[in-house]
């Protein structure tokens, strides 16, 4: 893989966490010699995304944003893509760390649009966080296991692994962290386990 596109708006608490926990992907891609186009903050718009898709042959798209079963959303909830854009994503591998896009949108992009694969979540992507750490999400240990599991997907794809490899690595990480927190007696453990179990259950890898 030569290049990838990272999409990460930042305009509320949820997108701030998604944004900051995606930062690590940039350094990882650099180390692996993969060019990564970073559409962050105000650049996370439909116009910019379509322009990058048109002018670059990026085969991997990494969305970190709000979503629904029908669309993904950029800066200030602007629609980034819907199932009507399916043909634009032909042969692309897409990971959406977003709510619900794995239920319908992902199916359409792969089955009708010809995307190579779509990894996402059938229902909401849920994470716990410490309300006292919102100014420094990366230092929030409460959300860290969920983001560690989900970051396994871009890491594996950037390294050249298949979508199924990426999905499997992520599933292994969920198992690891769930076992870890079952034996942990901190007051945060139940909230963390609930979110890990939920995202593990709802994560799907749809392939053509």
Partner 1 sequence: MVSEEVKELIKARLEEMPSHIKLSIGSSGPFNKDELIEHVEADDEIGETIIDMELNYMRAFKRFSTK
Which residues bind to partner 1, rule: CB under 8 A? 12-14, 17, 66, 68, 73, 77, 99, 123-124, 126-132, 142, 178, 182, 187-188, 190-191, 193-195, 197-198, 201
Q: Quote the least distance from Cβ 194 to partner 1, whole Å.
A: 5
Closest to partner 1 by CB, 110 vs 173, is: 173
Residues 6+ apart with CB under 8 A from 153: 95, 97, 119, 166, 167, 169, 170
Q: Quote the least distance from Cβ 201 to partner 1, whole Å.
A: 6
Closest to partner 1 by CB, 2 vs 13, is: 13
Q: Quote the least distance from Cβ 125 to partner 1, whole Å.
A: 8
Closest to partner 1 by CB, 43 vs 123, is: 123
Whole-angstrom Cα distance, residue 95 to residue 81? 13
In this structure, how many other beta carbons lie within 10 angstroms of the beta carbon of residue 93?
A: 23
Q: Between the CA atoms of 75, 77, 80 and 81, what dihedral angle is there, to the nearest 10 degrees?
A: 170
Q: Quote the least distance from Cβ 184 to partner 1, whole Å.
A: 12
Q: Quote the least distance from Cβ 2 to partner 1, whole Å.
A: 33
Closest to partner 1 by CB, 156 vs 170, is: 170
CB distance 95 to 62 below 8 Å: yes
3-state secondary structure at position 6: strand
3-state secondary structure at position 24: helix
Closest to partner 1 by CB, 53 vs 195, is: 195
For the packed helices 189-202 and 163-182, what is the interaxial angle rounded to 10 degrees? 160
């Amino acid at each position: 893989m030569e290049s990838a596109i990272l999409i990460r708006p930042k305009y509320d608490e949820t997108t701030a966490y998604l944004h900051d926990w995606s930062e690590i992907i940039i350094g990882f891609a650099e180390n692996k010699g993969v060019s990564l186009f970073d559409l962050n903050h105000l650049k996370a718009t439909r116009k910019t995304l379509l322009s990058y898709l048109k002018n670059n042959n990026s085969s991997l798209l990494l969305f970190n944003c709000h979503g629904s079963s029908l669309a993904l959303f950029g800066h200030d909830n602007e629609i980034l893509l819907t199932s009507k854009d399916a043909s634009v994503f032909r042969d692309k591998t897409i990971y959406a760390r977003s709510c619900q896009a794995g239920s319908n949108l992902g199916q359409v992009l792969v089955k009708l649009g010809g995307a190579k694969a779509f990894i996402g979540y059938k229902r909401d992507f849920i994470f716990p966080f410490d309300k006292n750490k919102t100014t420094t999400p990366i230092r929030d240990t409460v959300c860290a296991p969920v983001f560690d599991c989900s970051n396994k997907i871009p890491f594996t794809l950037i390294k050249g692994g298949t979508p199924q490899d990426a999905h499997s690595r992520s599933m292994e990480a969920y198992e690891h962290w769930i076992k870890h927190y079952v034996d942990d007696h901190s007051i945060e453990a139940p909230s963390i386990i609930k979110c890990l179990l939920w995202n593990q259950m709802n994560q799907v890898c749809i392939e053509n």
